[in-house]
Each structure stands twice: as structure tokens, then as C-alpha cells.
């Protein structure tokens, strides 16, 4: 539509004028991902977004994603202005892990190394020894396990359970979940597999154990896109936010991609496999953020200093 085109042109002009770069998550709208690509920004998972933003020479980072991604960018680059299309975009994992309750939980288990998923507030990160994303979580836990450490893991119980099963590490789990991935149903995937027996199943580990149990490949968004390329299959059933189809289809233009069903009867639910908070990022509020300097992210200095340590451990970790 003409309105979208006007926004796209305005965003391109303002990015240039303000020495700004657009950093977008795989789960945002296609139009935003496309714009990030066209303007020298990046489309990535949360780990790569953090790396890209921290290294880029722009003085303003525009982060299209959810709140914790903007906060992470600000923690890593306090000298940069960090804008988001909306500050209302949260995450059920972040909401389900309030800092005061989490801190009390940690106090009850002083013998455990505290490892938190990136999908948490700055205050929760400030209480952690390590921050991890799904792409390096298994490697970090294996590293800690080899040192004989016992783990306190938060907030995603499905991802925690997956890592625990895979590594055998001693992990105490916080009871949180992603409202998007939790909706995928094993029965629906089995029904789809019955229709397309030669399809491979790709699953993000925020999904429940019965769904992970059906996976040919389990991994983070970037790992799933890589797997889509490497697998010999020409049909792929994908259990993660459908925003990923933009980059995945680009990576495998000749393959047929199916959204994993979110209902037990095998019917796909069009709004279920898409994060409502990621969906709050749109061309109009993105243009507005640059136009008015709205949606600027600030992180308290003391909190920032504390949250930086476990984040730097994550960025410096090489397995």
C-alpha cells in the first residue's frame, strides 16, 4: 500500500540522517525484516542482534523486537541511543519472572550457579551469573557441568527441561513458558507427518517435550535456518514463530515449508504461531520512533553494571 511505501521511504531517510541502523528479530513482520536487510542492518536471533548492535558504529540502534532485546542493546552500548518502535512489546518469559521473586528464589539456593535466558529483564540479568540464548545454552550448561556446578535455570521450563535431558546437568527450573511455542501440539504434527511422511520436523526448544520428541532437528532460530539448508528434505514442518518463514524461505526457495499445527486436531491456528508482542512492531511506529525519538530505552546505571557481567560472559563464551 502507498502508506507503507511512504513509511519505508521516511524510515530509510531518517536512518541515514540520524546515523542509525535497524536491528530486527526473525519474528518481526516481513516488511521490517526486508527494510533491515535493504538498509545495511541485520535480521537475526537475539544473540546475533546483541553482537551486531554492540559492534556497529552507528550512534543510534533501532531495535525491532521485544523489550529485553532493546535493554540488552542499551546495556552493551550505553553510549548509543537505543530506540524501539514500542516499549510495550514484552515477552511472557520476562513477565513470568519478576525480579523480586526471582531474587528470593536465588537466595534460597545459594549453592547453585544462576543461568538465565536472554528473554528476561535487566533486573533479572543483574541477579544472574550467566545469560544465555537458545543457540549457546547447551554449550554453556555443559561447560558449567564439567566444572561440577549445579544450576538454577530461569525462566523457560521447556528449554530448561530440554537442556537438562540433553546434558544430564543438575538443573533447578523456574516455572516459565513462551505463550507462542507452548501452543504447538505433538498430535497435530503427527497428523501432518502422516500426510507428508518425507517431511523433516524442525523445532525450537521453547516447545513442550512431546513436540521436541518429534523433532529431526531441535535448535535456536538461526540453527533451524541452517538446518533447513543442510537437510536433504524438500518439505519442512517448522515449530517456531512463523515470522521465521521470511528468512527461511529465502534460504531454501525450492523447499515447501509448513507451519507446525497449534491445535490437537491438526488445524493450524493463524494467530497462534505468531508472538503478539513481536507483532506490535510495525512500519508506522518504527517511523514514529525515528521521527520523534520516542520509544527510547534507558537502563538504570547500577543495574546496567550488574547485568553487563553475565552478558559479557555470554558474548565471550566459545565452546
Task: Annotate 143-181 with DSSP letters as a single string.
Answer: HHHHTT--EEEESBHHHHHHHHHHH---EEE--B--TTG
- Cβ-count burial of 168 within 10 angstroms (0-12 exposed, 13-18 middle, 19+ buried)? exposed
Q: Which does 277 bind (CB under 5 to 8 A by kind): ligand SF4, ligand CIZ, none?
A: ligand SF4
Verify binding: residue 241, ligand SF4, rule CB under 6 A.
yes
Minimum distance of ligand CIZ from residue 114's CB (angstroms): 19
Verify binding: residue 278, ligand SF4, rule CB under 6 A.
yes
List the one residue from 93, 189, 212, 260 that touches ligand SF4 (CB under 6 A).
93
Verify binding: residue 277, ligand SF4, rule CB under 6 A.
yes
Verify binding: residue 83, ligand SF4, rule CB under 6 A.
no
List the one residue from 154, 180, 239, 248 that touches ligand SF4 (CB under 6 A).
180
Size of the site for ligand SF4 (CB under 6 A): 14
- Could you tell me which residues come within 8 angstroms of residue 41 by beta carbon, excluding any fewer than 6 positions away? 15, 21, 22, 23, 24, 35, 62
Q: Which is nearer to ligand CIZ, 56 or 181 (CB)?
A: 181
Stretch that binds ligand SF4, among 7-15, 138-146, 147-155, 271-279 (CB under 6 A): 271-279
Verify binding: residue 308, ligand SF4, rule CB under 6 A.
no
Q: Which is nearer to ligand SF4, 99 or 179 (CB)?
A: 179
Rounded to 5°, angle at Cα 133 from 29 and 147: 175
Within 10 A of 286 (CB to CB), how many other CB atoms are there? Answer: 30
Give the neighbor-by-neighbor strand order of the sheet with 200-203.
217-218, 200-203, 235-239, 256-259
User: Distances from the Cα of 303 to the Cαs of 63, 72, 122, 231, in angstroms?
Assistant: 20, 12, 7, 43
Minimum distance of ligand CIZ from residue 46's CB (angstroms): 4
Verify binding: residue 201, ligand SF4, rule CB under 6 A.
no
- Could you tell me which residues come within 8 angstroms of residue 59 by beta carbon, excluding any fewer than 6 positions away? 18, 19, 20, 80, 81
Q: Which does 179 bind (CB under 5 to 8 A by kind): ligand SF4, ligand CIZ, none?
A: ligand SF4
User: Distances from the Cα of 60 to the Cαs of 31, 75, 226, in angstroms?
Assistant: 20, 14, 30
Residues numbered 95 to 114 that lie near ligand SF4 (CB under 6 A) are none
Which residues of this protein are in contact with ligand CIZ, per CB under 6 A?
45-46, 118-119, 133-134, 178, 206, 220-221
Chain positions contacting ligand SF4, by CB under 6 A: 27, 66, 91-93, 119, 178-180, 206, 241, 275, 277-278
Amino acid at each position: 500500500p502507498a502508506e507503507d511505501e511512504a513509511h519505508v521511504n521516511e524510515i530509510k531517510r531518517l536512518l541515514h540522517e540520524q546515523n542509525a541502523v535497524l536491528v530486527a528479530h526473525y519474528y518481526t513482520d516481513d516488511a521490517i525484516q526486508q527494510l533491515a536487510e535493504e538498509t545495511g542492518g541485520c535480521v537475526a536471533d537475539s544473540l546475533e542482534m546483541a553482537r551486531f548492535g554492540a559492534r556497529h558504529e552507528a550512534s543510534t540502534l533501532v531495535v525491532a523486537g521485544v523489550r529485553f532485546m532493546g535493554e540488552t542493546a542499551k546495556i552493551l552500548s550505553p553510549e548509543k541511543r537505543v530506540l524501539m518502535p514500542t516499549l510495550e512489546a514484552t515477552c511472557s518469559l520476562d513477565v513470568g519472572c519478576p525480579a523480586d521473586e526471582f531474587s528470593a528464589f536465588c537466595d534460597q539456593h545459594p549453592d547453585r550457579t544462576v543461568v538465565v535466558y536472554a528473554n528476561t529483564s535487566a533486573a533479572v540479568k543483574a541477579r544472574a551469573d550467566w545469560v544465555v540464548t537458545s543457540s549457546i545454552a547447551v554449550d554453556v550448561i555443559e561447560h558449567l557441568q564439567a566444572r561440577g556446578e549445579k544450576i538454577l535455570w530461569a525462566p523457560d521450563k521447556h528449554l530448561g527441561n530440554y537442556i537438562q535431558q540433553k546434558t544430564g546437568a543438575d538443573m533447578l527450573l523456574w516455572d516459565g513458558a513462551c505463550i507462542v511455542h507452548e501452543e504447538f501440539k505433538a498430535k497435530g504434527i503427527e497428523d501432518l507427518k502422516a500426510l507428508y511422511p518425507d517431511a523433516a520436523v524442525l523445532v525450537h526448544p521453547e516447545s513442550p517435550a512431546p513436540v521436541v520428541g518429534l523433532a529431526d532437528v531441535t535448535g535456536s532460530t538461526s540453527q533451524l535456518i541452517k538446518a533447513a539448508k543442510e537437510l536433504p528434505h524438500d518439505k519442512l514442518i517448522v515449530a517456531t514463530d512463523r515470522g521465521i518463514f521470511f528468512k527461511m524461505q529465502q534460504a531454501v526457495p525450492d523447499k515447501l515449508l509448513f507451519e507446525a499445527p497449534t491445535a490437537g486436531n491438526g488445524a493450524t491456528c493463524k494467530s497462534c504461531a505468531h508472538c503478539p508482542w513481536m507483532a506490535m512492531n510495525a512500519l508506522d511506529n518504527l517511523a514514529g520512533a525515528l521521527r520523534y525519538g520516542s520509544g527510547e530505552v534507558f537502563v538504570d546505571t547500577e543495574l546496567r553494571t550488574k547485568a553487563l557481567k553475565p552478558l559479557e560472559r555470554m558474548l565471550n563464551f566459545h565452546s
